[in-house]
Protein backbone atom coordinates (compact mmCIF):
# COMPACT_ATOMS: atom_id res chain seq x y z
CA UNK A 1 0.00 0.00 0.00
CA UNK A 2 1.42 3.36 -0.98
CA UNK A 3 1.84 6.20 1.50
CA UNK A 4 -1.04 8.11 -0.09
CA UNK A 5 -3.33 5.12 0.19
CA UNK A 6 -2.36 4.66 3.84
CA UNK A 7 -3.25 8.29 4.59
CA UNK A 8 -6.57 7.94 2.77
CA UNK A 9 -7.40 4.75 4.66
CA UNK A 10 -6.57 6.42 7.97
CA UNK A 11 -8.87 9.35 7.17
CA UNK A 12 -11.74 6.98 6.33
CA UNK A 13 -11.25 5.09 9.60
CA UNK A 14 -11.27 8.35 11.56
CA UNK A 15 -14.48 9.48 9.83
CA UNK A 16 -16.19 6.18 10.60
CA UNK A 17 -15.08 6.34 14.22
CA UNK A 18 -16.45 9.86 14.63
CA UNK A 19 -19.74 8.84 13.04
CA UNK A 20 -20.23 6.23 15.74
CA UNK A 21 -19.52 8.59 18.63
CA UNK A 22 -22.65 9.29 20.76
CA UNK A 23 -24.39 12.41 19.56
CA UNK A 24 -22.01 12.88 16.66
CA UNK A 25 -24.84 13.27 14.16
CA UNK A 26 -27.33 14.89 16.52
CA UNK A 27 -28.60 18.24 15.36
CA UNK A 28 -27.71 21.15 17.57
CA UNK A 29 -30.74 22.36 19.49
CA UNK A 30 -32.16 25.63 18.19
CA UNK A 31 -33.99 28.24 20.20
CA UNK A 32 -37.47 28.33 18.70
CA UNK A 33 -39.10 31.74 18.53
CA UNK A 34 -42.15 32.15 20.76
CA UNK A 35 -45.67 32.41 19.39
CA UNK A 36 -46.74 35.96 20.25
CA UNK A 37 -50.35 37.04 19.83
CA UNK A 38 -51.83 40.43 20.69
CA UNK A 39 -55.59 40.45 21.27
CA UNK A 40 -57.70 43.59 20.96
CA UNK A 41 -61.12 44.00 22.57
CA UNK A 42 -63.54 46.92 22.57
CA UNK A 43 -66.54 46.37 24.85
CA UNK A 44 -67.71 43.86 27.48
CA UNK A 45 -71.18 43.08 28.82
CA UNK A 46 -73.37 40.35 30.27
CA UNK A 47 -75.35 40.37 27.01
CA UNK A 48 -73.89 41.22 23.62
CA UNK A 49 -75.93 43.86 21.81
CA UNK A 50 -73.54 43.88 18.84
CA UNK A 51 -70.63 41.84 17.51
CA UNK A 52 -67.98 44.12 19.01
CA UNK A 53 -69.31 43.55 22.52
CA UNK A 54 -67.83 40.41 24.06
CA UNK A 55 -69.94 38.75 26.73
CA UNK A 56 -68.31 38.18 30.11
CA UNK A 57 -68.95 34.44 29.70
CA UNK A 58 -67.16 34.45 26.35
CA UNK A 59 -64.21 36.40 27.72
CA UNK A 60 -63.85 34.07 30.70
CA UNK A 61 -63.89 31.07 28.34
CA UNK A 62 -61.15 32.70 26.25
CA UNK A 63 -59.01 33.22 29.34
CA UNK A 64 -59.60 29.56 30.18
CA UNK A 65 -58.41 28.48 26.74
CA UNK A 66 -55.28 30.57 27.10
CA UNK A 67 -54.55 28.82 30.39
CA UNK A 68 -55.35 25.38 28.98
CA UNK A 69 -52.97 25.81 26.07
CA UNK A 70 -50.09 27.17 28.12
CA UNK A 71 -50.22 30.82 27.13
CA UNK A 72 -48.82 33.47 29.47
CA UNK A 73 -50.36 36.94 29.42
CA UNK A 74 -47.63 39.57 29.59
CA UNK A 75 -47.59 43.38 29.41
CA UNK A 76 -47.45 44.81 25.90
CA UNK A 77 -44.19 46.53 26.77
CA UNK A 78 -42.57 43.12 27.28
CA UNK A 79 -43.34 42.34 23.63
CA UNK A 80 -42.00 45.73 22.57
CA UNK A 81 -38.75 45.05 24.44
CA UNK A 82 -38.52 41.59 22.84
CA UNK A 83 -39.04 43.15 19.44
CA UNK A 84 -36.35 45.80 20.04
CA UNK A 85 -33.74 43.73 21.89
CA UNK A 86 -32.43 40.50 20.30
CA UNK A 87 -31.35 39.30 23.76
CA UNK A 88 -34.84 39.70 25.27
CA UNK A 89 -36.98 36.61 25.74
CA UNK A 90 -40.67 35.80 26.08
CA UNK A 91 -42.59 32.70 27.20
CA UNK A 92 -42.95 30.10 24.39
CA UNK A 93 -46.64 31.00 24.13
CA UNK A 94 -47.21 34.68 24.81
CA UNK A 95 -50.50 36.59 24.76
CA UNK A 96 -51.19 40.29 25.29
CA UNK A 97 -54.51 41.92 26.17
CA UNK A 98 -55.34 45.31 24.66
CA UNK A 99 -58.58 47.27 24.54
CA UNK A 100 -59.37 50.12 22.15
CA UNK A 101 -61.57 53.23 22.43
CA UNK A 102 -62.02 53.58 26.20
CA UNK A 103 -65.52 52.16 26.64
CA UNK A 104 -66.87 52.37 30.20
CA UNK A 105 -67.19 48.56 30.34
CA UNK A 106 -63.40 48.43 30.63
CA UNK A 107 -63.86 49.92 34.09
CA UNK A 108 -67.08 48.12 35.03
CA UNK A 109 -66.28 44.66 33.65
CA UNK A 110 -62.64 44.25 32.65
CA UNK A 111 -61.06 45.89 35.69
CA UNK A 112 -62.54 43.45 38.25
CA UNK A 113 -61.40 40.47 36.16
CA UNK A 114 -57.96 41.98 35.65
CA UNK A 115 -57.66 42.63 39.39
CA UNK A 116 -58.78 39.09 40.22
CA UNK A 117 -56.34 37.40 37.85
CA UNK A 118 -53.63 40.11 37.88
CA UNK A 119 -53.88 40.59 34.13
CA UNK A 120 -51.86 43.38 32.49
CA UNK A 121 -53.85 45.38 29.91
CA UNK A 122 -52.89 48.16 27.51
CA UNK A 123 -55.77 50.55 26.88
CA UNK A 124 -55.74 52.74 23.76
CA UNK A 125 -58.07 55.74 24.09
CA UNK A 126 -59.02 58.77 22.02
CA UNK A 127 -59.29 61.75 24.39
CA UNK A 128 -62.12 63.57 22.59
CA UNK A 129 -64.56 60.95 23.94
CA UNK A 130 -63.22 60.69 27.49
CA UNK A 131 -65.53 62.39 30.01
CA UNK A 132 -67.66 63.52 27.04
CA UNK A 133 -69.37 60.60 25.31
CA UNK A 134 -71.96 58.66 27.30
CA UNK A 135 -70.34 55.34 26.39
CA UNK A 136 -66.84 56.39 27.37
CA UNK A 137 -64.71 56.30 30.47
CA UNK A 138 -64.01 59.42 32.51
CA UNK A 139 -60.57 60.79 33.22
CA UNK A 140 -61.08 59.85 36.85
CA UNK A 141 -61.75 56.25 35.88
CA UNK A 142 -58.67 56.21 33.67
CA UNK A 143 -56.58 57.42 36.59
CA UNK A 144 -58.01 54.62 38.73
CA UNK A 145 -57.15 52.08 36.02
CA UNK A 146 -53.59 53.35 35.85
CA UNK A 147 -53.23 53.39 39.65
CA UNK A 148 -54.16 49.70 39.72
CA UNK A 149 -50.73 48.99 38.25
CA UNK A 150 -52.29 46.74 35.62
CA UNK A 151 -53.37 49.23 32.93
CA UNK A 152 -51.07 51.14 30.59
CA UNK A 153 -52.97 54.06 28.99
CA UNK A 154 -51.87 54.83 25.43
CA UNK A 155 -53.04 56.70 22.32
CA UNK A 156 -55.73 55.88 19.78
CA UNK A 157 -55.33 59.36 18.18
CA UNK A 158 -57.35 62.34 19.38
CA UNK A 159 -60.77 61.61 17.88
CA UNK A 160 -60.41 58.32 15.98
CA UNK A 161 -60.49 59.62 12.38
CA UNK A 162 -60.55 57.53 9.24
CA UNK A 163 -57.24 58.57 7.72
CA UNK A 164 -58.23 57.31 4.27
CA UNK A 165 -61.20 59.68 4.22
CA UNK A 166 -59.15 62.58 5.57
CA UNK A 167 -56.46 62.08 2.95
CA UNK A 168 -59.08 62.33 0.20
CA UNK A 169 -60.67 65.53 1.47
CA UNK A 170 -57.55 67.45 2.53
CA UNK A 171 -54.66 68.94 0.59
CA UNK A 172 -51.37 67.09 1.20
CA UNK A 173 -49.94 69.74 3.54
CA UNK A 174 -53.21 70.03 5.45
CA UNK A 175 -53.41 66.27 5.74
CA UNK A 176 -49.95 66.00 7.27
CA UNK A 177 -50.82 68.74 9.75
CA UNK A 178 -54.07 66.98 10.58
CA UNK A 179 -52.27 63.71 11.32
CA UNK A 180 -49.71 65.52 13.45
CA UNK A 181 -52.44 67.17 15.53
CA UNK A 182 -54.23 63.86 16.01
CA UNK A 183 -51.07 62.22 17.30
CA UNK A 184 -49.63 65.06 19.35
CA UNK A 185 -52.84 66.29 20.98
CA UNK A 186 -53.77 62.78 22.03
CA UNK A 187 -50.44 62.18 23.72
CA UNK A 188 -50.39 65.58 25.40
CA UNK A 189 -53.90 65.21 26.83
CA UNK A 190 -53.38 61.67 28.13
CA UNK A 191 -50.07 62.55 29.76
CA UNK A 192 -51.58 65.66 31.34
CA UNK A 193 -54.66 63.87 32.70
CA UNK A 194 -53.28 60.45 33.61
CA UNK A 195 -49.52 60.82 33.79
CA UNK A 196 -46.97 58.38 32.48
CA UNK A 197 -45.40 58.35 29.05
CA UNK A 198 -47.43 57.91 25.87
CA UNK A 199 -45.33 56.42 23.08
CA UNK A 200 -47.57 53.68 21.68
CA UNK A 201 -50.42 54.06 19.20
CA UNK A 202 -53.30 51.92 17.98
CA UNK A 203 -54.22 52.87 14.42
CA UNK A 204 -57.94 53.79 14.11
CA UNK A 205 -59.80 51.20 12.02
CA UNK A 206 -56.43 49.49 11.58
CA UNK A 207 -55.59 51.96 8.78
CA UNK A 208 -51.91 52.69 8.20
CA UNK A 209 -49.45 53.22 5.38
CA UNK A 210 -45.83 54.24 4.95
CA UNK A 211 -46.61 57.94 5.26
CA UNK A 212 -48.56 57.46 8.49
CA UNK A 213 -45.79 55.29 9.93
CA UNK A 214 -43.23 57.98 9.13
CA UNK A 215 -45.39 60.73 10.65
CA UNK A 216 -45.92 58.71 13.82
CA UNK A 217 -42.18 58.10 14.14
CA UNK A 218 -41.55 61.80 13.64
CA UNK A 219 -43.95 62.58 16.47
CA UNK A 220 -42.05 60.32 18.85
CA UNK A 221 -44.14 57.16 18.81
CA UNK A 222 -42.03 54.02 19.10
CA UNK A 223 -44.72 51.38 18.51
CA UNK A 224 -47.97 51.16 16.58
CA UNK A 225 -50.58 48.41 16.40
CA UNK A 226 -52.85 47.28 13.57
CA UNK A 227 -55.69 44.82 13.02
CA UNK A 228 -53.72 42.58 10.66
CA UNK A 229 -54.70 39.33 12.45
CA UNK A 230 -51.44 37.42 12.65
CA UNK A 231 -48.81 36.69 15.31
CA UNK A 232 -46.05 39.18 16.02
CA UNK A 233 -42.67 38.20 14.60
CA UNK A 234 -39.16 39.39 15.45
CA UNK A 235 -39.15 41.41 12.24
CA UNK A 236 -42.67 42.84 12.49
CA UNK A 237 -42.54 46.61 11.81
CA UNK A 238 -42.41 48.41 15.14
CA UNK A 239 -45.08 50.90 14.11
CA UNK A 240 -47.32 48.30 12.48
CA UNK A 241 -47.36 45.30 14.81
CA UNK A 242 -50.34 43.03 14.15
CA UNK A 243 -53.23 42.27 16.50
CA UNK A 244 -56.21 39.93 16.41
CA UNK A 245 -59.57 41.70 16.68
CA UNK A 246 -61.68 39.70 19.14
CA UNK A 247 -65.46 39.78 18.82
CA UNK A 248 -68.36 37.89 20.37
CA UNK A 249 -68.16 35.37 17.53
CA UNK A 250 -64.86 34.09 18.90
CA UNK A 251 -66.41 31.29 20.92
CA UNK A 252 -64.49 28.26 22.11
CA UNK A 253 -63.87 26.71 18.68
CA UNK A 254 -63.08 29.95 16.85
CA UNK A 255 -60.78 31.20 19.59
CA UNK A 256 -58.92 27.88 19.73
CA UNK A 257 -58.38 28.08 15.96
CA UNK A 258 -57.04 31.61 16.38
CA UNK A 259 -54.54 30.26 18.90
CA UNK A 260 -53.60 27.49 16.48
CA UNK A 261 -54.78 24.93 19.03
CA UNK A 262 -57.47 22.30 19.42
CA UNK A 263 -60.53 23.27 21.44
CA UNK A 264 -60.78 19.70 22.74
CA UNK A 265 -58.33 20.33 25.58
CA UNK A 266 -59.97 20.69 28.98
CA UNK A 267 -60.57 24.28 30.00
CA UNK A 268 -59.85 24.96 33.70
CA UNK A 269 -62.18 26.94 35.90
CA UNK A 270 -61.84 30.72 35.74
CA UNK A 271 -59.45 32.44 38.09
CA UNK A 272 -55.69 32.66 38.11
CA UNK A 273 -53.51 34.47 35.63
CA UNK A 274 -52.83 32.61 32.38
* CA–CA separation, 237 and 46 (whole Å): 36
Pick from 6-10, 47-51, 94-98 the range whose average pLDDT is largest.
94-98
Task: Convert the pLDDT of each residue in 18-55 to its tens digit.
Answer: 444 444 444 443 468 999 999 999 999 999 989 899 99
Q: Is 74 helix (H, G, I), strand (E, B) or coil?
A: coil
Domains detected in the chain = 35-259 (3.20.20.370)
194 closest CA partner among 253, 139, 241, 127 = 139
Main-chain dihedrals φ then ψ at residue 177, nearest 5 degrees: -65, -40
* CA–CA separation, 188 and 21 (whole Å): 65
* CA–CA separation, 134 and 154 (whole Å): 21
Contact 132, 163 (CB under 8 A): no
Q: Is 225 helix (H, G, I), strand (E, B) or coil?
A: strand
The DSSP bridge partners found for residue 125 are: 101, 155
Using only C-alpha atoms, what is the Rg of the chain?
Answer: 25
Q: Looking at the predicted structure, is the pLDDT value of residue 174 above 80?
A: yes
Average pLDDT score over residue span 54-63:
98
pLDDT computed for residue 44 by the predictor: 98
Task: Convert the pLDDT of each residue in 208-220 to its tens digit.
Answer: 999 999 999 999 9
Amino acid sequence: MTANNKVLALRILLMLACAWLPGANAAQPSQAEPRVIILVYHRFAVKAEDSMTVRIETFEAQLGLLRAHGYRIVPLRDVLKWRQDPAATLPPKTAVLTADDGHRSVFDVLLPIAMRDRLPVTLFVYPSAISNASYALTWGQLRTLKQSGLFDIQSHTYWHPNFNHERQRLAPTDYRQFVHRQLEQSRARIEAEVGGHVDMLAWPFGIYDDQLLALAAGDGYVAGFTLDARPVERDSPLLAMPRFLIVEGHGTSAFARLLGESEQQTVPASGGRP
